[in-house]
Chain A
Amino acid sequence: MNLLEIFGQLSAGMLASIQIFVLTLIFSLPLGLLVAFGRMSKNVIVRTVIKVYISIMRGTPLMLQLMVLYFGPYFLLGIRVTNEYRFYAVIIGFALNYAAYFAEIYRGGIESMEPGQYEAAQLLGYNKSQTFFKIIMPQVFKRILPSVTNEVITLVKDTSLAFAIAYLEMFTMAKALASSQKSMLPFVAAAIFYYVFNLIVALIMEKLEKKMDYYH
């Protein structure tokens, strides 16, 4: 089997990996903002609950979190899960985990804003949500872009962790193919896939950063 044939064999896995990547971002980016608000909440209970959640998400391996999500329903509650649940477990696990990281990035960005920006907005009559979405968030977005890029690049590689619950993404398939073919080539193909994927991600993020360059 040459490299091209291997890519052909792995194409379904690649699509699955891209799907995990895209869905994780779609869910975790907005969820992270909600978590960040909770983390900064004046309500002690909300703040504490969110702090514990972030601490667990960041303090335990994502692979373990996926296993708990996937096997938990049966081992803990005796519920027989369906085959589609494997996919849901992957997406829920990734989204919850990445939301915690994004939340801390958002919080860092929001707390780095000068109080003067809020005060100017208040004096000009902007209400709280107008101030946040028109004045604060666009500037936060620019400030946190490099950290977000880091997380997004990590996510590309992390999609391979779905193999832990035997979800048929790129890495799971490459591993299977390597052992059935007794060949290193599937791993080479996997490496090329992740590398090119990340190259594209890095290029897009760089473009985005350039686009925000019109002010500082």
Chain B
Amino acid sequence: MYLLEMNHIEKGFDGLGVLKDISLSVKEGEILSIIGPSGSGKSTLLRCATMLEKIDGGEILYLGERAAYIGENHKPVYKKGEERRKLQSYFGLVFQNFNLFPHYSVMKNIIDAPIHIQKRNREEVYQEARSLLKKMGLEEKENAYPCQLSGGQCQRVAIARALALNPKILFFDEPTSALDPELTGEVLKVIKSLADMDITMVIVTHEMNFARDISDRIIFMDQGVIAVEGTPEEVFSTEHARMKEFLGKFHQA
């Protein structure tokens, strides 16, 4: 069974088609990277998958359970209340600009939702948060506030915050685009370490080498459609003109 299925997704803004009949699925333990030029719809696809944007067409399934579909009046139908919360707990999202809560300490950013939303045992959550911070190389920072951290550290806190809820699938929306090359490296290293832990991930990224190294499968999006899909080897050796042009620009840069 697939963890996530998106079938025939359509999404437009003000009549402008951003996603055109997109279908994809993600298996447990799989790492899928989505690459492509700016404006190709990568982030919109992620925002639809995480229900930050409503779809105009198609359906979204998590663990075979229908999370969103188009109802009889052609309006999207989403689960509400408890069912919605359950679906929401299946996935986490790491944002491009972190979106940490600035008024909470690093520790509180991580533990607040597990304790107050998931109602889990306080001690257990604290212990798990500490071990997550250790994995992120931030064990010294639990009492710091986000404004005292570098961008790379903030992003690692954001990853820990998402992981603390034990999602089945973790989405990354250009996690290093707001970082300089040095900080990018430390965040990519952390994401790689998650790959070794068999966490299912869907990563929208502009880091081509990273995508090639880490992914089981890569999707190249262009103008709202999936132009190329396959293993890293297949995708990077494709004869698809647009993809070659896109990669060429990367090699030149």
Contacts and interface: CB of A to CB of B under 8 A. Distances in A.
Contact of A138 (B92, B97, B103): B103
Contacts, number: 55
Contacts of A127: 85
B52 A124 contact: no
A156 B99 CA distance: 39
Given A114-B99, A125-B165, A134-B116, 9 more contacts: A123-B162, A124-B161, A125-B85, A125-B113, A126-B113, A130-B116, A135-B101, A214-B145, A216-B102
Interface string A94-134: 00000000000000000000101101101111110010001
A215 interface: yes
A138 B145 CA distance: 15
Determine the main DSSP class of A at the interface with B. Answer: helix
Nearest to A141: B103
A123 B103 contact: no
A47 interface: no
Interface string A62-100: 000000000000000000000000000000000000000
Interface string B47-66: 00011100000000000000
Contacts of B112: 124, 134
B103 A116 contact: no
A190 to B, nearest CB: 41
Nearest to A142: B103
Interface in A154-190: none
Contacts of A215: 102-103, 145-147
B193 interface: no
Interface in B95-140: 95, 97, 99-103, 112-113, 116-118
Interface of B: 50-52, 85, 88-89, 91-93, 95, 97, 99-103, 112-113, 116-118, 145-147, 161-162, 165
Given A215-B102, A215-B103, A125 B89 contact: yes
A139 interface: yes
B89 A120 contact: no
A139 B103 CA distance: 7
* Chain A interface residue number, banded: 20 to 34
A8 B99 CA distance: 56
Contacts of A125: 85, 88-89, 113, 117-118, 165
B114 to A, nearest CB: 9
B113 to A, nearest CB: 4
Count chain B CB atoms within 10 A of each CB in A123, A130, A135 and give the residue with the most: A123
Contacts of B145: 214-215
A214 B105 CA distance: 10
A22 to B, nearest CB: 28
A133 B235 CA distance: 47
A130 B101 contact: no
B99 A117 contact: yes
Contact of A122 (B52, B89, B102, B162): B52
A119 B50 CA distance: 10
Contact of B88 (A114, A123, A130, A134): A123
A116 B95 contact: yes
Contacts of A142: 103
Give 5 nearest A-B pairs by CB, closest first.
Answer: A120-B99, A116-B99, A124-B113, A125-B117, A215-B145
A135 B116 CA distance: 13
A116 B158 CA distance: 13
Contacts of B50: 123
Contact of A119 (B95, B103, B147): B95
Given A215-B146, A216-B147, A126 B117 contact: yes
A134 B116 CA distance: 11
